[in-house]
Structure 1
Amino acid sequence: MRVVVAEDQGMLRGALSALLDLEDDIEVVGQAANGEQALEMIQALQPDLCIMDIEMPKLTGLDVADKIKEAKMTCRVVILTTFSRSGYFQRAMKAGVHGYLLKDAPIQELSEALRKVEGGGRAISPELALQFWEAENPLTSREQDILKLIAQGLSAGEMAKQLFLSSGTIRNYVSEILQKLDAKNRIDAIAIAEKNGWLQ
């Protein structure tokens, strides 16, 4: 199988590519240092799989996965990350990602996961699967929108204008958000949501 490795840390990208190239049935055909480069390589090289970090310059791994899905490309995406945030995982699933693994997993586990994905299956780190199952995002999409606007420093009146709602409705939403997140105040709510990746 032909693979592109997208990772912004050069040493990790090189080591990962070298280890995967030792496998008889895996060939690393490209290495990308950022999301934009990864997308260009996928379009040009038409690999079977792309192993991608989430946090990369220019485009994140999830942005690239979205674009692959939109363009109906055949390349399957495997996310390799240090982030165990349920919000990231949920977005990855929506973007059609086939694998979601931790960077500290042994190379053999990654190779087996790639074979599974290449065969049409999905591969998710067992530790992550359990954690994400337990940490479902409690916020609705409207509540997430409102919390994002709070994070940008907008007042209730400004949010009401932007979302075509009354200030009273905004206050109700804010109260509901604080209750759901068991947050002491708005700043606390933003911190809790960001820590869990619920503001993606």
Structure 2
Amino acid sequence: MSRVRIVVADDHSLFRDGLLALFRLDPHLEVVGEASHGEEAIDVVTRVAPDVLLLDVSMPGIPVLTTINFVRRRSPRTRIAILTMHDELALRTSLLDAGASDFWSKSVPSRELVKNIKELVRAPQRDKVQYARGRRPAGGLLSAREVDVVRLVGNALSNKEIATRLGIAEGTVKRHLSSIFAKLGATTRLDAARKAARLGLTVLE
């Protein structure tokens, strides 16, 4: 097979350097760029049009969903592979819906990561098929009202304060929160706010 051209986007320089060194050991891989935040990743991909963008979720700057959307427009042939410590189902769903080709944990062994990258180029729909067969959570992502609620949760408002701000009953706020927790796989209010922010649905202040 021809060499797979890769861009690595991760804000942790030590981790990024480790990936670059790993890929440079394989004669079938070619590192053509690196980035430490979303805007830089978009610029590099636009310039070099790699086969694969290896993209971290939690980087400074624009949300990861925005990065994916821009990359898809600027370089449609580039496969976007998410490499992250965060493996929530709602996060996986939203990123695949936005146009990512696959989603891998940072705990994956190096040999398996290299294999995954090569397979992604040979069979880019492999993960999409598995995803379509049952990875989607029944509830999908958040409704507009749920985004309003979790945004105010992130601003440290109580249920009563949220109800007053939105003009709804406090019991309705609680029902929205139950739905938000289920969809995001959250265990606490702060956890829900952080996960919503990571998805680019809100900004955690």
TM-score range, shorter chain: 0.7 to 0.9
For residue 109 of structure 1, what is the aligned residue in structure 2?
A: 112
**Whole-angstrom distance in 1 between the partners of 2:180 and 2:86:** 20
1:21 to 2:28 alignment: no
Are 1:156 and 2:159 counterparts?
no
Distance 2:72 2:51 in 1: 14
Distance across 2 between alignment mates of 1:86 and 1:94: 12
Change (3 A) 1:193 1:98: same
Question: What TM-score do the two structures reach when normalised by structure 2?
Answer: 0.74
Deviations 1:92-114 (A, max 9, x none): 11111011111121111111111
Summarize the Cα distance change of 1:136–1:22 in structure 2 as closer, same or farther, 3 Å threshold. Answer: farther
For 2:67, the equivalent position in structure 1 comes to: 64
Pair 17,137 (structure 1): closer, same or farther in 2 beyond 3 Å:
farther
Q: Residues 9 and 189 from structure 1, CA distance in 2 versus in 1: closer, same or farther, beyond 3 angstroms?
A: closer
State the match for 1:163 in structure 2.
none
- Counterpart of 1:31? 34
Q: Counterpart of 2:92 in 1: which secondary structure?
A: helix
Q: Which residue does 1:164 correspond to in 2?
A: none
TM-superposed CA distance for 1:5, in Å, is: 0.6
SS at match of 2:32: strand
* 1:9-158 paired onto structure 2 within 5 Å: 9-71=12-74, 73-119=76-122, 120-123=124-127, 133=135, 140-151=142-153, 152=155, 153=157, 155-158=162-165
Secondary structure of 2:80 counterpart: strand
Q: CA deviation at 1:60?
A: 4.0
Aligned residue type for 1:49 = V
Question: Does the Cα contact within 8 Å between 1:3 and 1:50 map onto a contact in 2?
Answer: yes
TM-score by length of 1: 0.75
Q: Which amino acid is 2:165 matched to? A: E
* CA drift at 1:180: 4.2
TM-aligned CA distance change 1:155 to 1:25, over 3 Å: same
Q: Is the 8 A contact 1:87 1:137 kept in 2?
A: no
Alignment: residue pair count: 182
Are the equivalent residues in 2 in contact too, given 1:147–1:190 (CA < 8 A)? Answer: no
Identity of aligned residues (%): 23
Unaligned 5+ runs, structure 2: 200-205
Query: What letter is aligned with 2:125?
Result: G
Deviation at 1:138?
7.2
Amino acid at match of 1:121: Q
Quote the offset at 1:191 in angstroms.
Answer: 3.1
Structure 1 position 56, deviation (Å): 0.8
Q: Taking structure 1 as reference, are residues 146 and 172 closer, same or farther at Cα in structure 2, changes over 3 Å only? A: farther
C-alpha displacement at 1:2, in angstroms? 0.6
Distance in 1 of aligned mates of 2:137 and 2:8:
29
Structure 1: gaps of 5 or more residues: 160-166
